[in-house]
Amino acid sequence: MTHIAHRTPRRAALARRGAAIAIGVLAMVFLLMAAQGRAAAAQTVVSIEFDDGLANQYQVRDALTAHGVDATFFVNSGVVGDDGQMTWAQIHALADDGNEIGGHTLTHPHLTQLTAAQQQAEICQDRANLQAQGFAATSFAYPFGDFDATTQSIVGGCGYDSGRGVSGIVSPNGCFNCDYAETIPPQNRFATRSPQNPRTTTTLADLQGYVTQAEQHGGGWVQVTFHEICNGCDEYSTTLTQFTQFLDWLQPRAASGTVVRTVAQVMATPAPPPPDPATNLLANPSLEADADNDQVPDCWQLGGFGTNTFSWARTTDAHSGGFAERSTITAYTDGDRKLVSRQDAGACAPAAVPGHTYQVQAWAKNVQRPSEPR
């Protein structure tokens, strides 16, 4: 990971008249500016997903068709047609519209509480049932987001191309230090990450935020997974009105590069070519972008350690462009302060090829003010 740091040696204590010790106040102004232009943002891809094959999910069919959106429905094939579940006829109708049908086990158990043989039966037989209905069934979602290394291996062994959990992306009520989107292709195709599942307390602004946070931090894959479509019938429910409003808001964003794709379509996306070593790999290298207006450049984070008194400020005293970041240290014992390229899975962190060497360049201004004698 790339970071730029400034470390100041401890100032010697000044003894005066054999008694009082006066330590001067150190004022350090550190301006961080990268020399190259801003890196281009990656595309944001949204997948609309539904877990459990619930009967009330069928009512989103018209909204999906009206907005030209294909979704991924993860179905528990062992309970299709039971009370509260969709029928095979309804599932086929969704597939005929262009929606993807994926696997979600036979009966929705906590997989890690089962033996490996039991897990294999739940996962592999579920896929066999879906294929017998004519569905490709290449995408899988873990019930309750419950899986481990054994489960991942079984999902791959049963012929699935991917497995999705239910966390790992920044969300309003948790995972604050996570990435803002899954990478394309994902870090681990059998443990793909998503924001928290929408609940009755999830607002339209929350749903929109899952998308805009990815757009503002380098793009990537956003999986939004719905369960019950109803008016408060379950903790994990969303009203049809709110779901339709989300599609209304999402649809025109295609003009600016945010698109909707099924899970299978995302997984089929080829890996990007190796970066050109002649280009700047840093996102937001000149520190210009601050989409959330938090006074910290997008794709950068404030770092440091030790005992020192400091403050940060966004400044226009820049080497090039309009902005730089200033660290002012007013009292120093040890440690440092630094501006660090965000250490994520690739939305902000520089993408590099193993075995290749890259150069990092930055501009910094150091202003040290000596203390006044006391």
For 50-106, write each residue's pLDDT tens digit: 999 999 999 999 999 999 999 999 999 999 999 999 999 999 999 999 999 999 999
Last residue of a domain, one of 213, 232, 267: 267
Residues 228 and 316 in one domain: no
Instruction: Region of 33 please: left (phi>0), alpha (psi -120 to 50) or beta.
Output: beta
- Percent of all residues in the chain with a pLDDT value above 70, rounded to a whole number: 80
> Is residue 222 domain-resident?
yes
At 2, the pLDDT band (50, 70, 90 cuts) reads very low
- Percent of all residues in the chain with a pLDDT value above 90, rounded to a whole number: 59
Instruction: Give the pLDDT of residue 289.
Output: 82
Q: How far apart, in whole angstroms, are the C-alpha atoms of residue 47 and residue 71?
A: 7
Instruction: Give the pLDDT of residue 373.
Output: 44
Beta strand 162-168 pairing with 192-194: parallel
Helix (H) or strand (E) holding 362: strand 362-369
> Is residue 242 domain-resident?
yes
Residues 359 and 231 in one domain: no
Last residue of a domain, one of 267, 302, 326: 267
The owner of tokens 């946070």 is 213
Q: Is the pLDDT of residue 31 over 60?
A: no
Task: Measure the N-to-C terminal CA separation of the chain; round to a whole number of Å.
Answer: 43
Out of 9-18, 118-127, 270-279, least confident range:
9-18
Residues 357 and 211 in one domain: no
Q: What is the mean pLDDT of the chain?
A: 84
At 336, the pLDDT band (50, 70, 90 cuts) reads confident
Single out the residue of 286, 311, 302 nearest to residue 339, CA to CA.
Answer: 302
Q: Is the pLDDT of residue 149 over 60?
A: yes
Residues 33 and 57 in one domain: no
Residues 260 and 365 in one domain: no
Q: How far apart, in whole angstroms, are the C-alpha atoms of residue 131 and residue 344?
A: 37
> Is residue 276 domain-resident?
no
Domain residues for the domain of 313 are 3-39+282-369
Q: Which of 39-53, 55-69, 359-373 has the highest mean pLDDT?
A: 55-69
Q: Is the pLDDT of residue 184 over 50?
A: yes
Q: Which of 199-208, 275-284, 298-307, 344-353 has the highest mean pLDDT?
A: 199-208
Last residue of a domain, one of 242, 267, 292: 267
Residues 34 and 62 in one domain: no
Residues 243 and 351 in one domain: no
Task: Supply φ then ψ for residue 259, to 5 degrees.
Answer: -120, 160
Query: For the chain, what is the domain count?
Result: 2
> Is residue 277 domain-resident?
no
Q: How far apart, in whole angstroms, are the C-alpha atoms of residue 16 and residue 21?
A: 6
Burial of 169 (0-12, 13-18, 19+ CB in 10 A): buried
Both tokens of 211, joined, read 């998308």
Residues 147 and 26 in one domain: no
Instruction: Give the pLDDT of residue 317.
Output: 81
Residues 299 and 254 in one domain: no
